[in-house]
Amino acid sequence: MGTFSWIVLAAVAAYLAYTTYKRYKTVKNYDPSNESSKLQTLTDANFKKSIAKGVVLVDFWAPWCAPCRMLAPTISELADDFDGKATIAKINIDENKKTAASYGIRSIPTLIVFKDGEPVQKITGVKSKSTFSNTINKQL
């Protein structure tokens, strides 16, 4: 391998190390108090009423779930971005088992887009912000 190849390889390795470290810090330092004030917290009691009108993205999550904590900043940004256009909410499946069971949540994070109370799309796993934005925009 030539010198240029080693430089490119080192740059790629450094980038991967940096992005992995950045994700690790996000997960380790997750603090729900830093989330957007526009992000709604749902419960079994208020769930049906909260999703009844308009477009609502609901994040089914749990505090012990590392991918959920990694996705939390993205969900918070979406709440700010879609303020007044769509509702962005989250529901803790450990505290609200009835709702999670009624929608067949078997793995988390799972996000469901509701339109006027009806589920229209389910997304499981960590995805990019643009994936969620595009999904919401299709329903607006």
- Kindly report the CATH class assigned to 34-139: alpha beta
The residue among 131 and 34 whose pLDDT is bigger is 131
Sorted by sequence, the CB contacts under 8 Å of residue 80 that are 6+ apart come out as: 36, 38
Average pLDDT over residues 110-124: 97
Q: What is the pLDDT of residues 39-56, one digit of tens each?
A: 999 999 999 999 999 999
Q: What is the pLDDT of residues 55-101, one digit of tens each?
A: 999 999 999 998 998 899 899 999 999 999 999 999 999 999 999 99
Please give the pLDDT value at position 6: 87
Distance CA 39, CA 35 (A): 7
- Percent of the chain scoring above 70 in pLDDT: 91
Please give the pLDDT value at position 83: 96
> What is the set of active-site residues?
65, 68
Please give the pLDDT value at position 137: 97
Sorted by sequence, the CB contacts under 8 Å of residue 57 that are 6+ apart come out as: 75, 78, 82, 86, 87, 88, 89, 111, 112, 113, 114, 132, 135, 136
